[in-house]
């Protein structure tokens, strides 16, 4: 239950360093919103947050998460991998909301490379993600050193234009500080 977890986070403010909610497919967008609302009480202590494989990092869940991320001054590592509903535009928004302290981001999923919201003919994502990350980096956003956009153990053949969109919308703006990029499992050429 998101509300109970949010209360637990509040009670541990000052000592809690890592929150790992990985592989909770039952977490819904409302649960993520409740947890995200509690995260700012950990603004000075939370170093790591994992929402890997919850499925809640999409739509309103992404909006709640980005609002919380902007307030987490100590956060160094974020894992939102395995959230197939995130998409290119959602990932751009998450990366743009990262505080300066974040150095490691894990955000790969099969869904990222099969993003149904991607319109290759127009060269843009629904939601107009273009420039979001670039603007955040210019205003002094995160200096991500490690970006993992791997798909996991099952290789995926990306939808037309997706790899280019990820490179343009997410990777390129982070390039000044980026030291490690992983695209494991992403077939960069034809089958």
Cβ atoms 59, 87 nearer than 8 A: no
Top-confidence residue, 149 or 50: 50
Q: Determine the Cα–Cα distance for residues 74 and 91; give it in Å rounded to an integer.
A: 20
pLDDT score, position 109? 86
Distance separating alpha carbons of residues 87 and 66, to the nearest angstrom: 14
Instruction: Return the closest-CA partner of residue 107 out of 91, 124, 123, 120.
Output: 91
Residue for token digits 């967008």?
29
pLDDT on residue 74: 95
According to the model, what pLDDT value does residue 127 have? 39
CA atoms within 13 A on the CB side of 77: 13
Longest dimension (CA), the chain: 51
Q: Look up residue 64 and give its two tokens.
A: 């709640």
CB 162 within 8 A of CB 88: yes
Q: What is the mean pLDDT of the chain?
A: 81
Give the separation between CA 89 and CA 137, rounded to whole angstroms: 16
Give pLDDT, residue 19. Answer: 92
Read off the pLDDT of residues 99-141 as tens digits, 9 standing for 90 and up.
Answer: 989 999 999 888 887 776 654 444 443 334 445 555 555 556 6
pLDDT for 106? 93
The 10s digit of each residue's pLDDT in 72-82 is 999 999 999 99
Percent of the residues in the chain that have a pLDDT greater than 90, as a whole number: 30
Q: Who has greater pLDDT, 63 or 191? A: 63
pLDDT over 70 percentage in the chain: 82
Count of alpha carbons within 13 angstroms of residue 111, beta-carbon side: 17
- Which of the two residues, 169 and 160, has the higher pLDDT score? 169
Q: What is the pTM of this model?
A: 0.85
CA 63, 182, 79, 100 torsion-angle sign: negative
């Amino acid at each position: 239950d998101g509300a109970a977890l949010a209360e637990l986070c509040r009670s541990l403010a000052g000592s809690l360093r890592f929150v790992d909610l990985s592989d909770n497919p039952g977490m819904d967008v409302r649960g993520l919103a409740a947890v995200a609302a509690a995260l700012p009480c950990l603004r000075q202590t939370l170093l790591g947050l994992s929402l890997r494989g919850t499925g809640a990092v999409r739509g309103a869940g992404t909006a709640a998460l980005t609002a919380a991320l902007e307030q987490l001054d100590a956060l160094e590592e974020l894992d939102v991998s395995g959230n197939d509903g995130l998409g290119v535009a959602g990932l751009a928004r998450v990366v743009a909301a990262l505080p300066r302290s974040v150095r490691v981001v894990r955000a790969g999923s099969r869904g990222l490379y099969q993003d149904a919201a991607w319109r290759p003919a127009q060269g843009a994502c629904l939601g107009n993600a273009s420039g979001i990350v670039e603007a955040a980096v210019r205003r002094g956003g995160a200096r991500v050193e490690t970006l993992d956009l791997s798909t996991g153990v099952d290789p995926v053949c990306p939808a037309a234009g997706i790899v280019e969109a990820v490179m343009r919308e997410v990777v390129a703006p982070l390039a000044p500080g980026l030291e490690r990029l992983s695209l494991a499992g992403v077939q960069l050429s034809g089958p």
